[in-house]
Amino acid sequence: MAAEPTRAPPPAAPEPLVAVEGLTFHRGPRPVFDSLDMTMAKGEITAVLGPSGAGKTTLLKLIGGELRPDGGRVLVGGKDVHRLSRSGLYTLRKRMGVLFQAGALFTDLDVYENVAFPLREHTRLSEETIRDVVLLKLEAVGLRNARGLWPRELSGGMARRVALARAIALDPEIVLYDEPLAGQDPISAGVLVTLIRQLNDALGLTSIVVTHDVEEISAIADRMHVLSGGKCIATGAPAEIRASGESSVRQFMQGLPDGPVAFHFPGPPVAEDLLGAAAGAPGGNPAAARA
Amino acid sequence: MLAWLEVVGRGAVFLVRVLGGLPGAAFRGRELLRQIGRVGAQSMVLILVSGAFVGMVLGLQGYNMLVRFGAEESLGLAVALALVRELGPVVSALLYAGRAGSALAAEIGLMKTTEQLAAMGMMAVDPLRRVIAPRFLAGVLSVPLLAAMFSAVGVLGGQFVGVGLLGVDDGAFWSQMQAGVDFRDDVANGIVKSVVFGVVVTWISLFQGHDAVPTSEGVSRATTRSVVWSSLAVFGLDFVLTSLMFND
Ligand SMILES: Nc1ncnc2c1ncn2[C@@H]1O[C@H](COP(=O)(O)OP(=O)(O)OP(=O)(O)O)[C@@H](O)[C@H]1O
Ligand SMILES: [Mg+2]
């Protein structure tokens, strides 16, 4: 899935639309982010990469104002998301589309009504216009003919694509994608990647894509951030990230099991755990022990 | 104790925000009717059948008691008063809590667990207004109607046993009832009770669902808690309301 080779490289310091400054966030005693800084430029596709559990979903929830940080701030369009009133936050969210990792479709509405939901809530469009918009959005994700199905009748990948259609129903300025490619076959993954690029360019959107599909996203991202250990360990255009000599970045990009990025959730080593259990500490839970 | 106070605090904030959504919910006629259909109609068959049996038992017990004083003509009055003042509001609220309240708690809890509520919030639609408020209003409107049905069917059940099986005079059954039941003291107070129960049971059920820990076990606990707390609240409030209403 190659992007057009003629696309001009992004300018060196584009205007940031989303800025994460000194963000600190804990889950229980464990820090997920430790003074994280990153920016997402207006009009660009920014990919946030990182191993499972690195905090990618958490980052999107902080940007959308669903979670509150323990320190630092998140600016969207110059506004501190976590200092807005509820109505201020809702005004901001009308400009955002969010694709949830699990889709989060409304189970008591069918596919058509799920996509129509934001239109019905926030616009006074006529029934015909709503129909046109819904069918166009579903067409874009290849599911126009699935409009009569219920969420329970969709596969995981299909549900995610319906959720994508719903996220872009109102033509938002910023779209946050949480793992748009997970669970997609190579054909739909390719189509979705192209779709994300096309939407971004045609509508002048700003896209933030959280993923661990390095290959696919490298083809379309303007800029990538690599998250690890609560920090952003690398930032740059896909080619720069690929060429990075930093060992943890190389390890992640090439999918090597050994290196500075641990595959295992932090805790005591396996030998200690297995032998320790035999020595009379049954079912000891390291996460609970630390808490 | 502190944790308990915190839950009550969250529940109060929840209620205030839901009440703020009521005007909007009242104007969403179709959604409101749909929810009344679900919340109210769900409990209706249960209420009608239970009401009939409770009325029949009242007929039997009341007859046995009254016949000792030769006052079995007053059976209609006794059955009607017991139903309108006490059993109608209380039993229908308990049945509603078990049938519809638990379903509400589970539904909202699952919507939270599957991130449907969060997704709605991210679409700048307040789930408390869009999802909870219509269900709350539907519950509050349904409970008094269910209580009225319960009492009406109960009176017919009492009449069936008293007049039909035990031979109480039909005319006396109805005329004593008509003469003895006071609208303000009995009927209006019964309605006030069932409105209060409707508010409290629906509030507790929706709040438990909304406050559930987002896991399978969390939803199951929330469902159980909604019934337990609703039932306790109904009995406690019934005592308070009765002592306020009927003590002069
Ligand atoms: N509700 C929660 N309670 C406690 N800890 C949580 C919760 N949600 C996430 N975490 C922790 O926060 C960390 C980051 O989680 P997050 O879901 O953001 O990871 P992720 O990068 O999106 O992973 P994946 O690629 O697997 O989706 C994880 O270590 C996880 O254990
Ligand atoms: Mg995630």
Percent of chain B whose predicted confidence (pLDDT) is above 90: 79
Read off the pLDDT band of A208 (50, 70, 90): very high
Percent of chain A whose predicted confidence (pLDDT) is above 90: 48
C-alpha–C-alpha distance, residues B53 and B38, integer Å = 24
Determine the atom of ligand 1 nearest the C-alpha atom of A101: 27
Instruction: Sketch the domain layout of chain B as residue ranges.
Output: 35-236
The residue contributing the CA closest to ligand 1 atom 16 is A55
Which 3 state secondary structure label does DSSP give B69? Answer: coil
Distance B87 CA to ligand 2 centre (A): 52
- Report CA Rg, chain A: 21
Degrees to nearest 5, angle at CA B90 with B89 and B93: 80
- Cβ–Cβ below 8 Å for B122 and A121: no
- Show Cβ contacts of residue A87 under 8 Å, excluding neighbours closer than 6 positions: none
What's the whole-number mean pLDDT along residues B80-103?
95
State the best of A121, A170, A173, A175 to mutate against chain B, taking most chain B CBs within 10 Å.
A121
Give pLDDT, residue A101.
87
- Cβ–Cβ below 8 Å for B123 and A117: yes
Percent of chain A whose predicted confidence (pLDDT) is above 70: 88
Give pLDDT, residue B76.
92
Would you give the distance in Å from CA A71 to the centre of its chain? 21
Q: Choose the residue to mutate in A25, A57, A217, A261 for probing ligand 1, maximizing ligand atoms within 8 Å of C-beta.
A: A57
Give pLDDT, residue B85.
92
Read off the pLDDT band of B1 (50, 70, 90): confident
- The DSSP code sequence of A53-81 is TSSHHHHHHHHTTSS--SEEEEEETTEEG
What's the whole-number mean pLDDT along residues A136-160?
91
| Residues within 6 Å of ligand 1 by CB | A 27, 32, 50, 52-58, 101, 212
Which 3 state secondary structure label does DSSP give A228? Answer: strand
C-alpha–C-alpha distance, residues A279 and A273, integer Å = 10
Which strand (E) or helix (H) includes residue A48? strand A45-49
Q: Which residue has the tokens 């793992």?
A: A179
Please list the residues that pair with A46 across neighbouring strands: A208, A223
C-alpha–C-alpha distance, residues B121 and B141, integer Å = 27
Instruction: Check whether A260 has a pLDDT greater than 50.
Output: yes
B88: left (phi over 0), alpha (psi -120 to 50) or beta: alpha
Read off the pLDDT band of A291 (50, 70, 90): very low
The torsion angles phi and psi of B188, rounded to 5 degrees, stand at -60, -40
Q: What is the DSSP letter of B152?
A: H
Chain A residues with a Cβ under 8 Å from any Cβ in chain B: 64, 66, 86, 90-91, 93-94, 96, 98, 100, 102, 104-107, 117-118, 121-122, 163
More confidently predicted of B198 and A288: B198
Instruction: Check whether A4 has a pLDDT greater than 50.
Output: no
Residue A166's closest chain B neighbor by CA?
Answer: B123
What's the whole-number mean pLDDT along residues B32-55?
92
Around B192, how many Cα atoms within 13 Å sit in the side-chain half-sphere? 16
Are B238 and B87 in contact by the 8 Å Cβ rule? The answer is: no
Read off the pLDDT band of A18 (50, 70, 90): very high
Helices marked H in chain A — which ranges?
A: 56-63, 86-93, 111-122, 127-140, 156-167, 186-202, 214-220, 238-243, 247-254, 270-278, 286-290
- pLDDT tens digit sequence for A166-203: 999 998 999 999 988 887 888 888 888 888 998 898 88
Give pLDDT, residue A3.
45
Taking contacts as CB-CB distances below 8 angstroms, the residues of chain A near B119 are 98, 100, 104, 106, 163
- pLDDT tens digit sequence for B152-179: 999 999 999 999 999 889 999 999 999 9
Instruction: Check whether A290 has a pLDDT greater than 80.
Output: no
For B141, the token pair is: 């409107």
C-alpha–C-alpha distance, residues B209 and B14, integer Å = 12
